[in-house]
Homo-oligomer: A and B are copies of this chain.
Amino acid sequence: MGEKVNLVEKLGMFTEHWSPRVVGELNGQHVKLAKLLGEFDWHHHADEDELFLVLSGHLTLHLRDRIIELGEGEFFIVPRGVEHKPVAEEETHVLLLEPTSTLNTGNLRNERTIDAPPRI
């Protein structure tokens, strides 16, 4: 059985942006932490809903038809198939929840693609 997870402690274990770390797994889902800064690519996940919870900072989630602004303590669930582009103008820390099969760049494969996010 696992140990408890302290979010602040885990966030102190890495500095890279757009490089999620796995901190938990349940029911086929990964709980991940990520540090975001700047613009990510437009992408979608064909079969996976994705939750973004802002722990600190501010996340702008661009969708094709609207923009979602998330401050600390706010989350949004991007439904499967919906194109999105995360943008963080300041360093922003998020908790992600998504199936273990989820690729960070969704339908894209580029230099930002991380095939097996490390567990910390």
Chain A positions within 8 Å of B, measured between CB atoms, are 1-8, 24-29, 31, 48-51, 63, 68-70, 73-77, 79, 82, 97-99
Checking B5, B29, B79, B82 against A29 with a beta-carbon cut-off of 8 angstroms, the contacting residue is B29
Secondary structure at the A interface, as helix, strand, loop or mixed, is strand
Q: Which chain B residues border A49 with CB–CB below 8 Å?
A: 26-27
Quick one: copies of this chain in the complex?
2
Known: A24-B51, A97-B97. A74 touches B5 (CB 8 A): yes
**In contact, B24 and A77 (Cβ under 8 angstroms):** yes
Q: Which chain B residues border A74 with CB–CB below 8 Å?
A: 4-7
**In contact, B76 and A5 (Cβ under 8 angstroms):** yes
